[in-house]
C-alpha cells in the first residue's frame, strides 16, 4: 500500500521548532485531515482552563507505578517547558487550532492515557523499577555527568532532537527497560 499525501511531523512537546514546522505544514499544505497523537481526555485537558492534576483516586485506574510516572512526567515536562518558554502540548494545541481555522477534520490517534499508564504499571518488572529509581536518582544528583554520558551537553531543547540521538536514547531505554 502506498500513500503519497501523508505528511508526518516529528515533534517535541516543548520545542519552538515543532510549532514552526506545524504552522508551515498546515498553512502551506492545507490538509483535509490533521491527526494528533492525543486521546479525547487529554484533548479536553489541553484546552481546559482548569489544570488537570493526577489525583490519588487515579491509582485504581492506572496503578501505583502509572500514577508516579504521570506525576513525574508532568512535572518534568512543565519544568523543561518553563526553561524554553513553551508550554508542553503547545504543538498539539496549535495543530488543532490551525485545523479548525482551515476547516480540516481533526482525528485523535492515541489510546486513552489510562490504558497506557495501566500497561506501564503492570508490565514493569522489579528489575526495571529498580533501574527507574536508580536512573531518577542519577539524573537528579549527577545531572551534568549523565548529560555528558549520553552526549546531551549540546542538546537544544528548543529543537526536535535529530534521528541519531533519538535512536541512541531508544537503544539505551530498550536495554534498561525491555518490557
The count of residues in the chain is 179
pLDDT for 33-58, tens place per residue? Answer: 999 999 998 898 888 877 667 777 77
Q: Give the per-residue pLDDT at 107.
A: 96
The DSSP-derived string for the chain is ---SS-------TT-HHHHHHHHHHHHHH--SEEEES--HHHHHHHH-SSPP---GGGHHHHHHHHHHHHHHHHHHHHHHHHHHT--TTHHHHHHHHHHHHHT-EEEE-S--HHHHHHHHHHH--HHHHHHHHHHHHHHHHSHHHHHHHTT-TT--TTSPPPHHHHHHHHHHHHHH---
Confidence of residue 96 (pLDDT cuts 50, 70, 90): very high
Q: Give the per-residue pLDDT at 2.
A: 56
- What does the mean pLDDT of the chain come to? 84
Amino acid at each position: 500500500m502506498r500513500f503519497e499525501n501523508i505528511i508526518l511531523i516529528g515533534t517535541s512537546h516543548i520545542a519552538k521548532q515543532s510549532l514552526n514546522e506545524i504552522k508551515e505544514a498546515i498553512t502551506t499544505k492545507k490538509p483535509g485531515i490533521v491527526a494528533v497523537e492525543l486521546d479525547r481526555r487529554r484533548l479536553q485537558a489541553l484546552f481546559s482552563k482548569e489544570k488537570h492534576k493526577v489525583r490519588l483516586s487515579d491509582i485504581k485506574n492506572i496503578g501505583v507505578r502509572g500514577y508516579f510516572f504521570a506525576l513525574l512526567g508532568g512535572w518534568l515536562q512543565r519544568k523543561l517547558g518553563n526553561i524554553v518558554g513553551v508550554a508542553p502540548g503547545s504543538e498539539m494545541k496549535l495543530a488543532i487550532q490551525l485545523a479548525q481555522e482551515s476547516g480540516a477534520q481533526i482525528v485523535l490517534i492515541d489510546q486513552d492515557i489510562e490504558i497506557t499508564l495501566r500497561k506501564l504499571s503492570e508490565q514493569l518488572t522489579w528489575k526495571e523499577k529498580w533501574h527507574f529509581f536508580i536512573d531518577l536518582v542519577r539524573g537528579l544528583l549527577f545531572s551534568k555527568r549523565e548529560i555528558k554520558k549520553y552526549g546531551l551537553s549540546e542538546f537544544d531543547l528548543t529543537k526536535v532532537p535529530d534521528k541519531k540521538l533519538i535512536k541512541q536514547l531508544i537503544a539505551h531505554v530498550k536495554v534498561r527497560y525491555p518490557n
